[in-house]
Structure 1
Amino acid sequence: MCKNDATFTPIFDEKTLAGWHFVPRLPVPRAPGQPEPDTTTEEYRCAMQTSGKWTVEDGAITGRQAPPGCGYGGYLLTDGVYGDFELVFEAHPDWPADTGILVRTSSLGSQGFQILLDHRRSGNIGGIYGNGIGGFHGINFTLDAKYDGHGNPVGLRLEDPSTTLEPMTPDKAAILDYAATGEQFLSIWKWNNWNEFKIRVEGASPRITVHINDMKISEIDTIALKHPLYNAAVVRDLLSPKGHIAFEIHDNDPGMGEARWAPNAACRWRNIRICEF
């Protein structure tokens, strides 16, 4: 299954956003059954007013906050829904840009299994997060930027554990059935360039496998996943057997502010294709 390019179908025409639509990045409960967010707050009202800015530039889907620096994000969803598949694409994020790829997601965009592309301080790339389905955080390292003498970011490095905003507790790596080391990840990541992701999703409670630039970075079996707020049966009831694929523009927050998404930052995606099985 999905052994060569001939089996993959493009889901982006490189010219328009035909086949895609955007929605606001609205808060949802961390897990099904937890209290719903307060929809009367100013924060919720502001989030409703933007879905980010999604354009096609040089053959790539490009996502930005809109207006720049507003601190509110959005999701871009496929019109179609997908069950078992391999998804392949290239991504090129600015620094800092906190984004991700959600699979089996609901029509809200904010409920699904997220493959992390947190290209910012204390971020992880290639790990797996339970977005609105338990908040589990399967990661094995956190990242920061290297800076030149003028304060310009010039590459990635492993973050100092003593200064991280995301402490690497043992339970986070234990969620994953396989986890590449931070050193392995850094050996294949291309700074300020395109990086190829391959994401395989299979099963009612899916096994998800992530490769970046042909290196296996993570794997998780969500039917066997143990986490205080995750219940595989409840999540199966919340998410359909087939769900949307979504790209994310993250909000900022009081803790990180523009260190999460810089005012003029963007993330780009191209060569997006899928093989269903």
Structure 2
Amino acid sequence: MSGARPVDDDGFRPLFDGSTLAGWHAAPRVAGRIRPGGPLVGDVLAAAGHTPLPEPEKHPARWFVDDDGSVVGEQATPGYGGYLVSDESFGDIELVVDVRPDWPADTGVMLRRRPDSWEGFQVLLDHRPSGGIGGFFGNGLASFSAVPFAVDAVLDDAGRPVGLRADDPATSTEPVTPAKRERLTYAADVDELLEVWRWDDWNELRIRCVGALPTITTWVDGVKIAEVDTSTRLAEDYVPDDVLGLLGPRGRLALEVHDNDPLFGASRWGPGARCRWRDLRVRELDTTG
């Protein structure tokens, strides 16, 4: 794959060819264990009184290439999510992609994802109420949440979303707690994102991921948003050595279409919502020198 796609002057090579999903494959959104060696997510939800979606393995999301060359993700079966997973594995990288999510659409980019299950680090692109854009979540990694802020929608007089604003902690479904922010080694203020974010338009997400247990840094439209050191204790049940043993220093990339869960329902992923991705490119880093 790398030999078939040219490298630009900055060392980046494209991961989409603009017409097909070559180099990628769809996978259903099937949750595994909540942490390495821990209980299954479905069992934890059931114990809390929530009924997981039945047979998610039979309901992958729909992914296709639009006429403009962008990759589009949407729920194929209402309520069910899924992933678009790279066939290739990556270690230390910089990743750049233009994104255009509908509202509401809970999506993100996974790093170091296992090839056969859901575990990995996720960079959040939660374009929905209480959404954490540019923060981090540990899928199958003790569900750690490390986010600098949360957003909500500005509504016009007819109740239609027309822009982003800061989430109100007093009414938030999922407020940003001090603990979530303190897990970060860098945290931007929400006003820094709001100043650059283009509503109903394309925005650039840049990610740098370096280290066996990586330090991950994000930028949106050139503004540094957040940084996390995953070699530190990010949650009570997050054990760095166990995480490294599970993931190793390399893994797949994945794009996400979220399912609809009991907490958010249709505000997690709206009926007919889509997320669009274009110009995804990667630069592999040599950090041994």
Alignment of 1:148-167 (within 5 A): 148-167=156-175
Q: Which whole-Å deviations, capped at 9, do the CAs of 1:56-105 have from their partners, x for residues lacking one?
A: 012111000013xx100000001000000100110000000000100001
Equivalent-residue separation in structure 2 for 1:148 and 1:198 (angstroms): 31
TM-score in terms of structure 1 length: 0.94
Of 49, 65, 71, the match for 2:75: 65
Q: Is the 8 A contact 2:35 2:140 kept in 1?
A: yes
The one-letter amino acid paired with 1:235 is V
Q: CA deviation at 1:247?
A: 0.3
Change (3 A) 1:110 1:5: farther
Q: Is the 8 A contact 2:53 2:80 kept in 1?
A: no
What 5-or-longer segments of structure 2 have no aligned partner? 1-7
Corresponding position: 1:46 with 2:55: yes
TM-score in terms of structure 2 length: 0.90
Percent sequence identity over aligned pairs: 46
Q: Is the 8 A contact 1:75 1:109 kept in 2?
A: no
Change (3 A) 1:109 1:61: farther
Q: Is the 8 A contact 2:42 2:52 kept in 1?
A: no
Q: Is the 8 A contact 2:34 2:40 kept in 1?
A: no
The one-letter amino acid paired with 2:64 is T
Equivalent-residue separation in structure 2 for 1:38 and 1:215 (angstroms): 37
Of 212, 215, 236, the match for 2:220: 212
1:275 matched residue in structure 2 = 283
1:10 matched residue in structure 2 = 14
Q: CA deviation at 1:224?
A: 2.4
The one-letter amino acid paired with 1:51 is P
Q: Is the 8 A contact 1:25 1:109 kept in 2?
A: no
Counterpart secondary structure, 1:125: coil
1:30 matched residue in structure 2 = 34
1:244 matched residue in structure 2 = 252
Q: CA deviation at 1:6?
A: 3.3
Q: CA deviation at 1:51?
A: 1.2
1:198 matched residue in structure 2 = 206
Equivalent-residue separation in structure 2 for 1:50 and 1:139 (angstroms): 30
The one-letter amino acid paired with 2:158 is H
Q: CA deviation at 1:154?
A: 0.2
Larger deviation: 251-260 or 124-133?
Answer: 251-260
What 5-or-longer segments of structure 1 have no aligned partner? none
Q: Is the 8 A contact 1:147 1:154 kept in 2?
A: yes
Equivalent-residue separation in structure 2 for 1:109 and 1:77 (angstroms): 11
Equivalent-residue separation in structure 2 for 1:21 and 1:76 (angstroms): 6
Q: CA deviation at 1:5?
A: 4.7
Q: CA deviation at 1:220?
A: 0.9
Alignment of 1:158-177 (within 5 A): 158-177=166-185
